[in-house]
């Protein structure tokens, strides 16, 4: 008979930072049909296809409404409302399409996990600081990339889109469906890496691909550690809220080096960010190694 943990012991385990408990039957990677590499490309195709269809429909509507094909001609608040509607429609189609495709390809098991473990304040604070740190570490590379071109508007609807819609849809897809499915077939480490890359590619533009892939590593680890989408949705929302604040204040494409007046101070911040990223990366890899061992021997987990 399998021993059941009491709520108190489960809470103690969460506070200690131990990996989240997952049913033993779901730990061991198996020879499942879904997902293959082709399936990953197909799911990306569903996402980009939904964006193209919804975007084309929106342009036709604006054309007949007398606004022309230039979204930039709209007022910021109106643009925010349009972009929020487009995002919600395209991501709803994407999520529904991916879930249908997953089912058609034989994907099984739960694809969205939620638990109170995801509300560990210490873990969330560490992950939020780490996301900022890796962003600083990436700055020398990001400076070499084409400047991000993103028109999302301003105001309530833009905030709703970035801080509510995006975390929900993208985490359900990238951590819920993609990471969960990959873990069931290939194991925790491969799932962590590939789902992060999937998350990055989903964002399209080169700067976003690099930044989102690295952020995805942090989000993916937190999801694996907590077995809860609450945690990553909260972190994603906080990250996007900071991004919107920078955008609204005219610093959308600004890097920290552009905002810090003292070069000496920037170097010190960069060294601290690099150290935090290195130590955190090592700790994450150690935890993932323990998870991988648990997958190989579920009875000992």
Which segment, 69-83, 114-128, 278-292, is predicted with the most confidence on average? 278-292
* Mean pLDDT to the nearest integer, 8-13: 39
Q: Is residue 5 one of the residues assigned to a domain?
A: no
Which has the minimum average pLDDT: 100-104, 150-154, 222-226, 280-284? 150-154
Instruction: Give the integer Cα–Cα distance in Å for 193 and 216.
Output: 9
For residue 11, what pLDDT is reported? 37
Q: What is the pLDDT of the chain when averaged over all its residues?
A: 85
Exposure string of 143-154, with b = 16+ CB inside 10 Å and e = fewer, is: eeeeeeeeebbb
HSE-CB for 270 with a 13 A CA cutoff: 14
Q: Is residue 150 one of the residues assigned to a domain?
A: yes
Q: Is residue 133 one of the residues assigned to a domain?
A: yes
* Mean pLDDT to the nearest integer, 103-116: 87
Q: Is residue 128 one of the residues assigned to a domain?
A: yes
Q: Are 111 and 177 in contact (CB under 8 A)?
A: yes
List, for residues 275-288, the tens digit of each pLDDT value.
999 999 999 999 99
List, for residues 29-68, the tens digit of each pLDDT value.
555 688 999 999 999 999 999 999 998 988 887 777 666 6
Percentage, residues of the chain above pLDDT 70: 84
- Tally DSSP H helices, then E strands, for the chain: 14, 0
Tell me whether residue 72 is exposed, middle or buried, using C-beta atoms within 10 angstroms of its C-beta: 0 to 12, 13 to 18, 19 or more: exposed
Q: Is residue 244 one of the residues assigned to a domain?
A: yes
Q: Is residue 15 one of the residues assigned to a domain?
A: no
Q: Is residue 49 one of the residues assigned to a domain?
A: yes
End-to-end C-alpha distance for the chain, whole angstroms: 15
Q: How many domains does the chain have?
A: 1
- Find the domain containing 172 and state its range: 24-300
Helices (H), ranges, 110-228: 121-137, 139-142, 156-159, 166-171, 180-186, 188-201, 206-226
- pTM for this model (two decimals): 0.85
Q: Is residue 85 one of the residues assigned to a domain?
A: yes
């Amino acid at each position: 008979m399998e021993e059941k943990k009491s709520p108190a012991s489960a809470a103690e385990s969460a506070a200690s930072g131990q990996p989240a408990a997952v049913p033993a039957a779901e730990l061991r990677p198996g020879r499942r049909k879904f997902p293959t590499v082709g399936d990953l490309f197909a799911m990306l195709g569903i996402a980009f296809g939904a964006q193209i269809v919804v975007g084309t429909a929106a342009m036709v509507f604006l054309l007949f409404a007398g606004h022309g094909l230039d979204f930039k001609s709209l007022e910021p608040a109106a643009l925010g409302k349009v972009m929020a509607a487009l995002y919600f429609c395209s991501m709803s189609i994407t999520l529904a399409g991916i879930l249908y495709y997953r089912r058609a390809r034989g994907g099984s098991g739960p694809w969205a996990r939620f638990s109170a473990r995801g509300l560990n304040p210490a873990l969330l604070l560490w992950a939020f600081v780490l996301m900022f740190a890796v962003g600083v570490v990436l700055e020398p590379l990001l400076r070499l990339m084409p400047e991000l071109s993103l028109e999302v508007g301003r105001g309530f609807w833009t905030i709703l889109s970035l801080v509510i819609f995006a975390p929900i849809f993208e985490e359900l897809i990238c951590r819920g469906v993609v990471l969960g499915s990959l873990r069931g077939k290939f194991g925790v480490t491969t799932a962590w890496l590939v789902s992060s890359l999937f998350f990055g590619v989903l964002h399209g533009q080169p700067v976003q691909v690099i930044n989102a892939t690295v952020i995805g590593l942090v989000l993916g680890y937190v999801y694996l550690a907590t077995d809860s989408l609450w945690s990553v949705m909260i972190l994603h929302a906080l990250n996007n809220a900071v991004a919107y604040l920078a955008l609204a204040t005219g610093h959308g494409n600004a890097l920290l080096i552009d905002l810090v007046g003292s070069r000496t101070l920037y170097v010190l911040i960069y060294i601290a960010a690099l150290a935090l990223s290195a130590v955190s990366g090592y700790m994450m890899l150690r935890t993932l190694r323990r998870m991988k061992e648990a997958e190989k021997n579920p009875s000992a987990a």
